[in-house]
Amino acid sequence: MLTSIRKTILTLALAAALPGVALAQTAANPIVIKFSHVVAPDTPKGKGAERFKQLAEERTGGRVKVEVYPNSQLYKDKEEVEALQLGSVQMLAPSLSKFGPLGVKEFEVFDLPFIFPSAAVLDRVTNGPVGAAMLKKLEPKGIVGLAYWDNGFKEMSANRPLRDVKDFKGLKMRIQSSKILEAQMRALGALPQVMAFSEVYQALQTGVVDGTENTPSNYWTQKTHEVQKDMTVSNHGYIGYAVITNKKFWDGLPADIRTILEGAMKDATKYTNAIAQQENDEALRKIQASGKVKVITLTDKEREAWRQALLPVHKEMAGRVGKDTIEAIYKESAALGFKQ
């Protein structure tokens, strides 16, 4: 009897020491991944999280359970990264600008205007050694970077047409918190106004700010186009996310489970990035069809004037994001025939 009790105690002790191994042995007691994010379930990010959940649970035979918490149900935008570092959640997909405050300022390069001359260059960066090296820099912070998820390229809007750089002069333009975006708006002669995403619609409606920048899908889902008179298809900047996980949790997973989850994330990423482009294209069509805002498409000459006005921001911010990081992206652009 005593021997049996000792065996039971030993078994429980081993289970406590190796929780990943113990939990992986049965679908009745699965490994739980809390995947928290701050947007709606019907956004590309929200749909991507649900696709990862589906693939992870199916491919592990239920040995892993993914609990998705959208709309900041668990943590707000400013709280979620710290929550992940503390192990309160296991997975997030924050915007790339969130890593600057952690001390990994290289990620702020994604905020630079016209840094990506095409989607092909962006893909080459995020799916190549440059993007992989940046994700690796998160590990000393207790974070493992798993993938890059697209939101899309940004457009500009205001209550007057924005064709020429001088059209921005004096406009109060809403931005997310970013030193790079502040410099971008100043270079155009505008006045940058940092504001929470949830406050933008009312601020535009009441005239607290004159304009903003965002992807077509965000304009459409947030109904921003209803409170702006003019929108310019500029594709001047990019909004993206990094899917991240707690390093201690990830390293503690059984090797076979980790391999399965890596495959599930790879396939979820392909799905998410594909629908992001589709939804932006569809959103732009809906915005144009709504008749609520005049959509302007820049000529090549007009867009080049914008680019020339904003390229100095690259040099201005090189000391912040790293000259080597900028040069690495220039190199990827050159490989596809683009010059900066």
CA distances from 330 to 98, 145, 327 (A): 23, 23, 5
DSSP 8-class letter at 292: S
195 or 147, greater pLDDT = 147
CA distance 273 to 105: 24
Measured torsion, CA atoms of residues 227, 232, 234, 236, in degrees rounded to the nearest 10: -40
pLDDT at 4 over 80: no
Could you please report the per-residue DSSP string of 171-221? -EEEE-S-HHHHHHHHHTT-EEEE--GGGHHHHHHHTSSSBEEE-HHHHHH
Q: Domains, the chain, ranges and CATH?
A: 14-98+119-150+240-279 (3.40.190.170), 155-238+282-335 (3.40.190.170)
pLDDT for residue 149: 98
**Count of helix runs (H) and strand runs (E) in the chain:** 15, 11
- Of the candidates 110, 168, 132, which has an alpha carbon nearest to the alpha carbon of residue 317? 110
Distance, in Å, from the CA atom of 110 to the CA atom of 94, rounded to the nearest integer, reads: 13
CA pair distance 145, 83, nearest whole angstrom: 16
Question: Is residue 20 pLDDT above 50, yes or no?
Answer: no
Across all residues in the chain, what is the average pLDDT? 91
pLDDT single digits (tens) 116-166:
999 999 999 999 999 999 999 999 999 999 999 999 999 999 999 999 999
Pairing of strands 191-194, 230-233: unpaired
Give which of 265, 159, 286 is closest to 219, Cα–Cα.
Answer: 286
Beta partners for residue 241, in sequence order: 95, 149
Q: Coil, helix or strand for 340? A: coil
Residue 174 class from Cβ within 10 Å (0-12 exposed, 13-18 middle, 19+ buried)? Answer: buried
pLDDT tens-digit readout, 197-213:
778 999 999 999 999 99
pLDDT tens string 87-97: 999 999 998 98
**pTM, to two decimals:** 0.85
Question: 224 exposed, middle or buried (CB, 10 Å; 0-12, 13-18, 19+)?
Answer: buried
243 DSSP β-pair partners? 147
What is the model's pLDDT at position 26?
Answer: 64
Residues in the chain, how many?
A: 340
Over residues 290-296, the mean pLDDT reads 97
Q: 212-214 and 155-158: which strand pairing?
A: antiparallel
Q: Are 329 and 124 in contact (CB under 8 A)?
A: no
**pLDDT tens for residues 230-282?**
999 999 999 999 999 999 999 999 999 999 999 999 999 999 999 999 999 99
